[in-house]
Structure 1
Amino acid sequence: MAPPLSLLVALLVFSYGPGGSLGCDLSLDHVQVSKENIALLHQLQRISSFRCRKDRKNFALPRDMVDGSHFQKAQAITVFHEMLQETFDVFGTEHSSAAWNTTLLHGLLSALYRQLEDLGTCLKPEMKEAESALGMEDSTSAVRRYFQGIHLYLKEKQYSDCAWEVVRVEMRKAFSLSTHLLERL
């Protein structure tokens, strides 16, 4: 089974590689928006990560970059869209609203929503291709399982401040890895 990050890599390679485009009009610069998301996630910090070291968890986001060139463009777009949607869902909960500064949280949710809308315009024309993409269901399922682990962790920890801090750091890592990859292309 392909790890979720490898699919994100595939999206970024297809989207921003030499001469490459998504085949649709993307009005957002995903590198800039991802940088803004990282900054917002950094600003959301309310407690020290060191204080929450006993609550750390490995959510199985791969640290190494794998070659995602064998994935189809539509598959990568679909998986990246799923990752954004799941991130939006994590931070869009009632529990999240109670944990964070609402102004910063709304800024993050707004940026995620803009990216989702932008990528949503790309999904429609690509859906026929995506339907035939081998392994797409497995790939999006892997993303869902990754985020299901995050949801279960928060619930298990009763949405504690430390649990939210661990999740905030995890999401910063995911956005940092994708932004770093975009900048290398």
Structure 2
Amino acid sequence: MALVLSLLMALVLVSYGPGGSLGCDLSKNHVLVGRKNLRFLGQMGKLSPRFCLQERKDFAFPQEMVEGGQLQEAQAISVLHEMLQQSFNLFHTERSSDAWNTTLLEKLRTGLHQQLDHLDSCLVQVTGEKGSALGRMGPTVAVKRYFQGIRVYLQEKGYSNCAWEIVRMEIRRSLSSSVSLQERLRMMDGDLSSP
């Protein structure tokens, strides 16, 4: 019975868009933009991370939920969207401009915005009316809590340069996971769209 339901679901998804794909193809370019964002984050550091070791904190990144293979496509897109949206919001705070090279910061913001624009339409296509419900479920809520912890940390540390450096390293970790998730989504879509 489960196999029949899986096959029916695959048929429904295959019929969604042109060429038999979901109409939400995470192109290679989308993944490349994610990798560029990681590079920009790597270049943004002004302080040596060793200088800020005393400020380290475990933000409890929900790696198992994000990288675990149990996420269905709609959930994975919802989690990815949430991670990118929260990162975009974080680097758009007023105080983030003081901590970074403005050229690199603007490139990062632009890259995150490009990814979000593409994922906005993907989220609607893949989740339909369930989109808002997915935002209130396990993995997406875990991502929201994770970023809330980062914002609280920055406030507690007075948005110091060291606090931003610790956050930069942490966001590199989460965006690295998001690139892995994007690659997995591309494979899921490719599996559905290949004959």
TM-score by length of structure 1 reads 0.77
Would the aligned equivalents of 1:41 and 1:108 in 2 still touch at CA under 8 Å?
A: yes
1:42 and 1:150 map into 2 onto residues whose CA distance is: 18
SS of the residue corresponding to residue 47 of structure 2 reads coil
For residues 12-161 of structure 1, the aligned pairs below 5 Å read: 22-26=22-26, 29-62=29-62, 68-128=68-128, 130-131=130-131, 137-161=137-161
Structure 1 segments, 4+ long, off by >4 Å, are 25-28, 62-67, 131-136, 180-185
Matching residue's letter, 2:104: L
Q: Cα 1:73–1:85, aligned 2, differ >3 Å: closer, same or farther?
A: same
Instruction: After TM superposition, give the deviation of residue 119 of structure 1 in Å.
Output: 0.6
CA shift digits 1:1-35 (9 cap, x unpaired): xxxxxxxxxxxxxxxxxxx9654244562321121
Matching residue's letter, 1:102: T
More displaced 10-residue stretch of structure 1: 66-75 or 112-121: 66-75
Instruction: After TM superposition, give the deviation of residue 120 of structure 1 in Å.
Output: 0.7
Q: Cα 1:162–1:132, aligned 2, differ >3 Å: closer, same or farther?
A: closer
Q: Which runs of 5+ in 2 are unaligned?
A: 1-19, 186-195
Q: Cα 1:82–1:183, aligned 2, differ >3 Å: closer, same or farther?
A: closer
1:110 and 1:135 map into 2 onto residues whose CA distance is: 24
Would the aligned equivalents of 2:37 and 2:111 in 1 still touch at CA under 8 Å?
A: yes
Q: Could you tell me which residue of structure 1 aligns to residue 3 of structure 2?
A: none
Would the aligned equivalents of 1:37 and 1:108 in 2 still touch at CA under 8 Å?
A: yes
Q: Cα 1:136–1:75, aligned 2, differ >3 Å: closer, same or farther?
A: farther
SS of the residue corresponding to residue 94 of structure 1 reads coil
Q: Which runs of 5+ in 1 are unaligned?
A: 1-19
2:48 and 2:68 map into 1 onto residues whose CA distance is: 35
2:105 and 2:134 map into 1 onto residues whose CA distance is: 36
Instruction: After TM superposition, give the deviation of residue 183 of structure 1 in Å.
Output: 6.5
SS of the residue corresponding to residue 95 of structure 2 reads helix
Structure number with the higher helix fraction is 2
Q: Could you tell me which residue of structure 2 aligns to residue 4 of structure 1?
A: none
Matching residue's letter, 2:161: D
Would the aligned equivalents of 1:28 and 1:115 in 2 still touch at CA under 8 Å?
A: no
CA shift digits 1:131-181 (9 cap, x unpaired): 597795232211110000000000000000000000000011122234356
Whichever of the two has the greater Rg, that structure is: 2
Q: Cα 1:72–1:58, aligned 2, differ >3 Å: closer, same or farther?
A: same
Q: Cα 1:157–1:35, aligned 2, differ >3 Å: closer, same or farther?
A: same
